[in-house]
Amino acid sequence: MAKTLIAFFSRADENYFGGAMRYVKVGNTEIVAGLMKELIDADTFKIEMKDPYSPVYMSCIDEAKKDKQNNARPELTNYLDSIDEYDTIVLGYPNYWGTFPMAVATFLERYDFTGKIILPLCTNEGSGMGSSESDIKKCAKGATVKSGLAITGSKAADSKDAVKKWFAANGLV
C-alpha cells in the first residue's frame, strides 16, 4: 500500500507577515502541515536544525542568506532511519532567499529518492515557489518532482481548501 510522508521545515518566533513583524508560537509551514494531516493519512517529520536560526527575524534572514551563499548543509537534530516505505513525500518549507532553507537540502541529500514522488509546498509572503522546485530536483536525485503549491504564510491557517484541491489533483484525496 502506498504510504505518504509529510516532511517540513518551519520556523516560529518573530516572522514577517505582509509588511510587519509578528511573534508566532507555531510557524506557517507547520500550520499547513497540521491541515494536511487532517486531510490524509500520513506520517510527519519536522526538519529541525541542530543550531537553529535566530528567533529575531532580521538576524534569521541574514543567517539564512549566509547559509545559501555558502551552500551550507546545516546539521539536523534528528533523521529518519529510511524513507524506503514512502511512495510520496509532501515537502513543506518557507521561501528563504528564493528557495528552500538549506536544512531542507541536508534532508534531501541524505536519502535515496529514486522512484519517489515529491510534492513541494512553499509558504511565503509573495515570493512564491522561487527556484525551489528545480532546486529540489538537484538535491533529490531520481525523484519525480510535481508542481508545487505556494501558500501565503499569513493565510496558512485558511489554506485547507487550497491544499485539498492540490492533493486531489495529485491523487492523495
Kindly list the averaged pLDDT for each block of 10 residues, start to end, along the chain of length 173.
91 89 95 98 98 96 97 98 97 97 98 97 95 97 97 96 98 93
Burial 30-68 (b: 16+ CB within 10 A, else e): bbbbbbbeeeeebebbbbbbeeebeeebeebeebbeebb
Q: Is 90 helix (H, G, I), strand (E, B) or coil?
A: strand
Q: What is the pLDDT of residue 18?
A: 81
Picking from 154, 149, 123, 151, the residue whose alpha carbon sits closest to that of residue 19 is 154
Q: What is the pLDDT of residue 150?
A: 98
Q: What residues does each domain of the chain span?
A: 4-169
Please tell me the distance from the alpha carbon of residue 163 to that of residue 151, in angstroms, as a whole number. Answer: 9
pTM of the model: 0.96
| Overall fold of domain 4-169 | Rossmann fold (3.40.50)
- The count of other CB atoms within 10 Å of the CB of residue 21 is 11
